[in-house]
Amino acid sequence: MFKKIGAVALSTGLVLSAVSVPVFADKPESPGKGKGNGYGGKKIDNIIYMIPDGFSGDYASNYRVYKGEDAVWDEHLKGMFTTNSANADVTDSAAAGTAMASGVKTNNGVIGLDPEGNELTTILDASEEAGKSSGLVATSTITHATPASFATNVESRNNQTEIARQYISGEVDVLLGGGQNMFLPETEGGNQEELNLIEEAQESGFTYTETRDELLDSTDIDVEEGEKLLGLFAEEALSPELHRDQTVEPSLAEMTEVSIEVLEQDKDGFFLMVEGSQIDWAGHANDAAWAMSDVAAFEDAVEAAIDFAEQDGKTLVIVAGDHDTGGMTTGSGAYAGLNADILNQVTATGDFIATQLNEDRSNTKEIVEEYTNLTITEDEVQSIQDASDAVLAINRVVSDHAGIGWTSTNHTGADIPVYAYGPQSEKFVGFYDNTDLPKIMANALRVNLKN
Amino acid sequence: MFKKIGAVALSTGLVLSAVSVPVFADKPESPGKGKGNGYGGKKIDNIIYMIPDGFSGDYASNYRVYKGEDAVWDEHLKGMFTTNSANADVTDSAAAGTAMASGVKTNNGVIGLDPEGNELTTILDASEEAGKSSGLVATSTITHATPASFATNVESRNNQTEIARQYISGEVDVLLGGGQNMFLPETEGGNQEELNLIEEAQESGFTYTETRDELLDSTDIDVEEGEKLLGLFAEEALSPELHRDQTVEPSLAEMTEVSIEVLEQDKDGFFLMVEGSQIDWAGHANDAAWAMSDVAAFEDAVEAAIDFAEQDGKTLVIVAGDHDTGGMTTGSGAYAGLNADILNQVTATGDFIATQLNEDRSNTKEIVEEYTNLTITEDEVQSIQDASDAVLAINRVVSDHAGIGWTSTNHTGADIPVYAYGPQSEKFVGFYDNTDLPKIMANALRVNLKN
C-alpha cells in the first residue's frame, strides 16, 4: 500500500533529506467503537498477558449485558484464534497454556513439554533471558495448569507440588494466588512438616505473604536486587469473587497492581501473566452468576493493567481466553431476550446454595430465592428437587432466567477473541492459532522464543 | 500516526504538486494465518456484500471441521459486531438487514423504515444514486427480509407482494432467488391471474428467467442500456443445497457469477448483495447437516466473489452474518470431540427425513440411518419416536453425533464476525455495531448514505 504525495520534481536534483516533514500516512482507522487503542510508539519493554480461563465470545456478549455497557476490552478487539491441542479437537488448559506460552502444541494434560517430552521455552523464559523480571498471578492455586505452563515443565498438570518446586528453583520473581497446600504437601504418613516449600522459597529469596494486608505492604520488594515475592492466600484455590468478602484474600486487581508495582522497578522491563482462573470453573458448573462476577473481577485487573500501560507507553496488554467452557450462548430457548443483568442480584455460587438445601430439598424454593433474588416457578423447584446433581440444576434455572444457554459441562472448540492494547497491538489483527500469540509477543518484545 | 519522509525545505518555495511520488506508508501486517488480503490499492468501484443469514463464530468453527480445512473467509477475519435491534436484545432478520443496509436500527419485523416510520436510504440506494448498478441474490424468496432491506420500505416483512411491487418499480438491476408466488399472488378468489408482477417486471425492462439454463444464458443483459434481470427459480424458497440436484435451480455461486458478469458492465461500478438465506432456517430447525451444506454453497459464492475481486482490484468483498441462529456451539456434552465432518455423509434435511417416517415411526432407525449414514442407538431411536416434534428430534440426534450443541430454536445475541477482502478491507478491523458496516462501506465507496 502506498500513498502519493505532492512533491517537487525529482529532476531538480535537490537533496531530499535536508528537513523532515511529517506526512500523515495511513493512520489505522480508529478501530470500531473505541476511542483509541494506545497506538503512538512502537517500542515495548513490558507485556501483561491477561488470560480469562474459559472465556469465549459469548462470555463477552453476555458480560456486556450483565455490566450494562461495553467491557474495557471490547474496543480493543483485534482478532480470533483456534485452540485445538496436539491430540484433541478440544483443548484442556494445560495444552492451551503451553501453546499460548511457548507457541508449540502439546497433548492435553501436559505442561511446558512438546508431545515428545522435550522442554519448551516460554515467552516468560525468553523475557527473563533478556534480563526482564516476571510474574504469575492466578485465582486458582498458583500451581494450576495455566500459570504453570509459563514457567515449569511437567508431564502431568496434576503434579502441583513438582510445579511448586520448579517455581522455587526457577526464575519467576512474583507468584501470587492460592495453593498453600501444594507447597506443604502431606507425605504418606499425613505429616505436613517433612516438605515445606514455603520455607524453601523464603530461603531462596522470596518474601512470603498470606493475606491481602501483607500483600499490599509488600511493594518494596527490589527485583533488581534479586528479591522475590510469593503470596499464597488460601490453602487451595482462592474464593469465587461472590464469596471473597468473607476472606483475607486480595482481589485479582490488587494482585495485578502489586505485581506491576514490583516488576516495573526492573529497568529492563517485565513479563506478567494474570489469569482469571475461575471463569472456567463457573463454566464447568454452568454457573452464570459465578462466571459473570469472576469476569467482573478479571475486568478490574485488566483495567489496572491498561491504566499502567497508558501511563507507561511501552507496555503491551493482551487479553485472550484459552478456550470456551460450557458452550455458553447469548440467549436460550427458556425465556425471551438477554437478561444477564439479573445475575447482579445473585449472591452465591450454585455450589454454595446447594449446601444450604436440607436433605429432602424441601426448602428449595426458599433457599434458591434467598440467594438468587429470583422468583422461581414450581416446575423449576421440581427440576432441582428431582435432579441427580442439585448444583447443576440450580445453575440451569438461574441461567434460564438470565437467558444464558449451555450445551456442555466441558470445554468446547469455539474460536476465541483476542484483545490487545498498546504499541504493536495491531499485530494481533486477524485470524490466528493459539500458538501464534507468544510468537507475536516475542517479536514485539524483541526476545527469542527459540522453539 | 504519521510517517516522516525526507523532503525539501518548504522555505525554498517550490510548488509541491508538480509530480506525484509514491511513499510507502504503514503497510498493515499480513493478518494472521492468511497469505494476503488483497491490499494494494485504495480506490474501490464495487462492493459485494455477502450475508450468510444466521451465521455466527460457532458456525465458522464447526464449518472448518466439516470442511477439514480453513474456509475461504477465515484468513480475512477483521472484527466482530453487535446485533441488537431498536426494540429487542435479539434481532430478527428484518431489523438486522435494515441496520446492515442503512446504518439505522429499527424494530424487529420492519424493513427500510426507522422506528418512527421514516424511509431510509441504503447502501444500495446510495450506490445507485452515484450511477452504479445493483443486484440482490438470495436462496429464500427474493422478497424475504434480508434482500428486501436493501431496496424496499415496508412496515412488515410479511408483505412480500408489496416488496415485489417496490422491486419492479425500483432501481435494482438484477434480482435472483425464489418466490414466483410472491409475484403472482393469489387474490381472495384464488385467482393468480389478476396480479402478475412478473409480466409487469418484463414490461418495465426486466428479462425474466426461471431455470438454471436460462440464467446461464442471460449474461448479455446490458445494464448500461437500462436492461434488467429477474430470475425466480421456484414458487417459494429455493431448495436446501442438500436437495438442489433434484431441481432446475442454479447454485448460489452461479447466481453470484451471473450477477457479477452482468453488473461489471457498468463503468461506474456496482453494488451486489448475496444472501445464504437458509443457513438461518437450518439453525431454527437445529439441522446441522442442512446448515453446513448451505454454508458450503455460500462459500462457493464467496469464492466466486473473491476471484472476481482479485482480478478486478477495485472490489471490496464483505462477509457478515446478520445474527446467530440456534445458539450453535462447537462441541456438546453428548459425544467427545468435534465431529462435524460426519455431516458430509448426511443426504437429506431433517424436514425431509421426517416425511419418510411411517405413522407410528416404527421405521425410525432404518430411515434415519439411510439418510444420515450414522449408526444410531436405541435410546436415540426412542427419543425420536417419543418426540412431539420428530424433525427437531432427528436433528438433535444428528447434531449430537456431530458434536454440535444448540440452545434455542430462535436467534441469539452473540457478536458476529466480519470478514473483508480487497482495498480498504482494513477499515473493518475492530469492534463494531451492525449499523457501522454500511457506513464504512459508503465511506469506502465514496457514496452518500444520508441517514
In degrees to the nearest 10, what's the CA dihedral of A222, A224, A226, A228?
A: 40
Q: How many domains does chain A have?
A: 2
Task: Give chain B's radius of gyration (CA, Å).
Answer: 23
Classify burial at A12, counting beta carbons within 10 Å of its beta carbon; exposed 0-12, middle 13-18, buried 19 or more: exposed
Q: For residues A408 and B196, what is the distance between their CA atoms, to the nearest angstrom?
A: 52
Q: Which residues does chain B have within 8 Å of residue A17's beta carbon, measured at their own beta carbons?
A: 6
Same domain, A419 and A358: no
**Alpha helical stretches, state H, B48-88:** 57-67
Pairwise CB contact (< 8 Å): A429 & B33: no
Contact A215, A176 (CB under 8 A): yes
Indicate the helix (H) or strand (E) that contains A182: helix A180-183
Q: For residues B81 and B72, what is the distance between their CA atoms, to the nearest angstrom?
A: 20
Classify burial at B87, counting beta carbons within 10 Å of its beta carbon; exposed 0-12, middle 13-18, buried 19 or more: middle
Query: A3 and chain B: CB distance < 8 Å anywhere?
Result: yes
Q: For residues B383 and A206, what is the distance between their CA atoms, to the nearest angstrom?
A: 60
Q: With a cut of 50, list the residues of chain B below it in pLDDT.
A: 1-32, 34-41
Report if residue A450 sits inside a domain: no
Look at strands B411-412 and B19-24 and give their pairing. unpaired
Look at strands A77-82 and A430-433 and give their pairing. parallel
Q: Which residues does chain B have within 8 Å of residue A33's beta carbon, measured at their own beta carbons?
A: 430-433, 436
Which residues, other chains included, contact A162 with Cβ-Cβ below 8 Å and sequence gap of 6+?
Answer: A152, A154
Q: Which residues does chain B have within 8 Å of residue A31's beta carbon, measured at their own beta carbons?
A: 79, 429-431
Q: Which residue type is seen at A266?
A: D
Q: For residues B208 and B218, what is the distance between their CA atoms, to the nearest angstrom?
A: 9
Pairwise CB contact (< 8 Å): A29 & B82: no
Cell (9 digits) for B187: 387474490
Pairwise CB contact (< 8 Å): A431 & B31: yes
What 3-state class would DSSP assign to A121?
Answer: coil
Question: For this structure, is A11 an active site residue?
Answer: no
Q: For residues A91 and A434, what is the distance between their CA atoms, to the nearest angstrom?
A: 11
Same domain, A53 and A109: yes
Same domain, B120 and B202: yes
Contact B174, B229 (CB under 8 A): yes
Same domain, A282 and A394: no
CB atoms within 10 A of CB A170: 17
Q: Closest CB to B25: pick one of A1, A6, A89.
A: A1
Hey, which residues 416-435 in chain B have their CB within 8 Å of chain A? 417, 426-427, 429-433
The whole-model pTM stands at 0.91
User: How is residue A270 annotated by DSSP?
Assistant: E
Pairwise CB contact (< 8 Å): A329 & B79: no
Cell (9 digits) for B360: 407410528
Contact A222, A263 (CB under 8 A): no
Residue with cell 423449576: A380
Which residues, other chains included, contact A149 with Cβ-Cβ below 8 Å and sequence gap of 6+?
Answer: A94, A96, A97, A98, A100, A101, A102, A111, A112, A122
Distance from CA of B300 to the nearest CA of A (A): 20
Q: Closest CB to B32: pick one of A4, A28, A432.
A: A432
Angle CA B400–B402–B404, to nearest 5? 65
Residue A187 has what pLDDT?
Answer: 61
Q: For residues A11 and A33, what is the distance between their CA atoms, to the nearest angstrom?
A: 46
Distance from CA of B399 to the nearest CA of A (A): 12
Contact B421, B306 (CB under 8 A): yes
Same domain, B273 and B367: no
Query: B131 and chain A: CB distance < 8 Å anywhere?
Result: no
Query: A2 and chain B: CB distance < 8 Å anywhere?
Result: yes
Cell (9 digits) for B334: 453428548
Q: Closest CB to A329: pick one of B8, B338, B412.
A: B412
Q: For residues B139 and B141, what is the distance between their CA atoms, to the nearest angstrom?
A: 7
Same domain, A78 and A136: yes
Query: B338 and chain A: CB distance < 8 Å anywhere?
Result: yes
Report if residue A52 sits inside a domain: yes
Query: A28 and chain B: CB distance < 8 Å anywhere?
Result: yes
Give first-to-last CA distance, chain B, whole Å.
30
How many CA within 13 A on the CB side of residue A213? Answer: 2
Same domain, A9 and A151: yes
Contact B448, B124 (CB under 8 A): no
Candidates A43, A39, A74, A79; CA nearest to A59 is A74
Query: B75 and chain A: CB distance < 8 Å anywhere?
Result: yes
User: Nearest residue on chain A to B91, judged by CA atoms?
Assistant: A337
Q: For residues B292 and B282, what is the distance between their CA atoms, to the nearest angstrom?
A: 9
Contact B42, B312 (CB under 8 A): no
**Could you tell me which residues are beta bridge partners of residue B418?**
B79, B320
Cell (9 digits) for B174: 438484477
Same domain, A302 and A381: no
Pairwise CB contact (< 8 Å): A20 & B27: no
Query: B4 and chain A: CB distance < 8 Å anywhere?
Result: yes
Q: How far is CA B363 from the centre of its chain?
A: 37
- Catalytic-labelled residue, pool A56, A61, A93, A332: A93
Distance from CA of A215 to the nearest CA of B (A): 37
Q: Which residue type is seen at B161?
A: T
Candidates B206, B109, B111; CA nearest to B154 is B111
Candidates B288, B6, B252; CA nearest to B136 is B252
Q: Closest CB to B327: pick one of A25, A88, A405.
A: A405
Pairwise CB contact (< 8 Å): B415 & A4: no
Angle between helices A252-263 and A288-312 (to 10 degrees): 20
Report if residue B72 sits inside a domain: yes
Q: Which residues does chain B have within 8 Å of residue A16's beta carbon, measured at their own beta carbons?
A: 6-8
Q: Which residues does chain B have within 8 Å of residue A433's beta carbon, measured at their own beta carbons?
A: 33
Cell (9 digits) for B339: 465431529
Q: For residues B46 and B441, what is the distance between their CA atoms, to the nearest angstrom?
A: 10
Q: Closest CB to A415: pick one of B12, B22, B57.
A: B57
Report if residue A96 sits inside a domain: yes
Which residues, other chains included, contact A400 with Cβ-Cβ below 8 Å and sequence gap of 6+?
Answer: A332, A334, A335, A380
Residue A193 has what pLDDT?
Answer: 58
Q: For residues A259 and A262, what is the distance between their CA atoms, to the nearest angstrom?
A: 5
Query: A413 and chain B: CB distance < 8 Å anywhere?
Result: yes
What 3-state class would DSSP assign to A351?
Answer: helix
Q: Which residues does chain A have within 8 Å of residue B42's beta carbon, measured at their own beta carbons?
A: 1
Query: B87 and chain A: CB distance < 8 Å anywhere?
Result: no
Contact B238, B139 (CB under 8 A): yes
Report if residue B450 sits inside a domain: no
Q: For residues B49 and B322, what is the distance between their CA atoms, to the nearest angstrom?
A: 12
Candidates B321, B259, B298; CA nearest to B100 is B321
Same domain, A337 and A211: no
Same domain, A42 and A191: yes
Hey, which residues 258-317 in chain B have their CB within 8 Å of chain A? none
How many CA within 13 A on the CB side of residue A282? Answer: 29
Q: Which residues does chain A have within 8 Å of residue B338's beta carbon, measured at their own beta carbons?
A: 89-90, 413
Domain of B186 in residue numbering reads as 2-328+410-445
Report if residue A451 sits inside a domain: no
Same domain, B131 and B270: yes
What 3-state class would DSSP assign to A134?
Answer: strand
Residues B325-344 as b/e (b if ≥16 CB within 10 A, e otherwise) read: bbbbbbbbbbeeebbbbbbe
CATH number at residue B48: 3.40.720.10
Q: With a cut of 50, list the residues of chain A below it in pLDDT.
A: 1-32, 34-41
- Catalytic-labelled residue, pool B61, B93, B149, B277: B93
Query: A415 and chain B: CB distance < 8 Å anywhere?
Result: yes
Same domain, A421 and A385: no
